[in-house]
Amino acid sequence: MNRMSSLALTLFAFGAVLSGCAHDVEVMGRFGGPTNAVVGPDGLLYVSDGYYNSRIAVFTTDGVALREWGTKGYGRGQFNNPHGFAFLNDSTIIVADRDNGRLQLFSLDGALRTVWEGAEVGRPWAVAVTYDGQVVSIDGGDQDNNAPRGGIVILDSDGRVQCRFSGFGSMQGLLNEGHSVAVTDSGDIIVVDLQNKRLQRFNRLGPCEYVVDPSWGSIAEQIGFEPLGVAVKGSTVYVTQQKPFGGIFLLDLATGSKISEIAAGVVERAHSVSIDAEETLWVTDVYGDQVYRFSPSGDVLLTLGGK
């Protein structure tokens, strides 16, 4: 083989490799490990996307792509695994920027407002907002055996840490990778305790006073599932499960008893669930790179994204 033909062959190989590794996921409707989907106060669907992409994407509830913001990185306004989010009020979204170890606050059109971070905040895996504007952030830890960490952080609406409780462990009231969080209308906190494969409920006694409800620690085991995502609407708790293509469990908020299981066999890995004002469910499929909208009975109404 002469020199020129060797060079041509090599360049052809490089071209083939480059075309093969080019990802087209910047197209707005293509997700890369979506982590959460919630209808915001403006009636639009916000999607945190995700493990592979690093953005917040906004759609109408009919699935029309409107806008997006965020790129992968360490800078302010960038993301490194936006793992969850919540709306602080009608104009502010709080994003749990997990691998950058911070909460980032944006206007609903994506303008960065501020960043909350530090040792007390830890590494936020999930975030929720109570009826009176307290921010509940879950420090899921660094997955570090030498310095395991976990906990629930309560911040005021200005980002000041009010208290931090729970911790790492498997005992009642402790967490081993708090993965998802929801708050009830009365401010109680329900956390998916990922590695302990259970739900934990912390009943609110005061603005920074919580007590663990021991009966909730065994609910998932009793029903026979391993929780992954959680949401609360009214008197119902919605829980997705780690099992591939597992359904969504509806539990009674008062007792924890199972009401029903819906949408079984549809979502490969239902990372999160939320419920909008129309009582429809939004579920992210972190494996299938999709966002589903389900009717209250579990029928698929809309699918966004896909491999």
One residue of 36, 48, 54, 241 binding another protein per CB under 8 A: 54
Going residue by residue from 242 to 271, which x/- string records binding to another protein, judged by CB under 8 A?
---------------------------x-x
Rg of the chain over CA atoms, in angstroms?
20
Q: How far is CA 80 from the centre of its chain?
A: 13
One residue of 43, 64, 67, 73 binding another protein per CB under 8 A: 73
Assess 224 for contact with another protein (CB under 8 A): no
**Cα 268 to Cα 232, 239, 246, 282, 284, distances in angstroms:** 22, 15, 7, 14, 10
One residue of 36, 53, 240, 274 binding another protein per CB under 8 A: 53
Question: What does DSSP assign to residue 218?
Answer: G
* Strand ranges of the sheet holding 102-107, from the earlier edge strand across to the other edge: 82-89, 92-97, 102-107, 112-117
CB of 102 to another protein, least distance (A): 8
The answer to whether 268 and 259 are in contact (CB under 8 A) is no
The amino acid present at 211, given as its one-letter code, is: V
Cα-based angle 242, 120, 148 (whole degrees, multiple of 5): 50
Residues between 158 and 217 with contacts to another protein, criterion CB under 8 A: 177, 195
CB of 1 to another protein, least distance (A): 6
Residues between 16 and 45 with contacts to another protein, criterion CB under 8 A: 17-18, 21-23, 25-26, 32-33
Residues forming the site for another protein (CB under 8 A): 1, 3, 6-7, 10, 13-14, 17-18, 21-23, 25-26, 32-33, 50-55, 70-78, 80, 99-101, 112, 115, 117-119, 121-123, 142-147, 149, 177, 195, 269, 271, 286-287
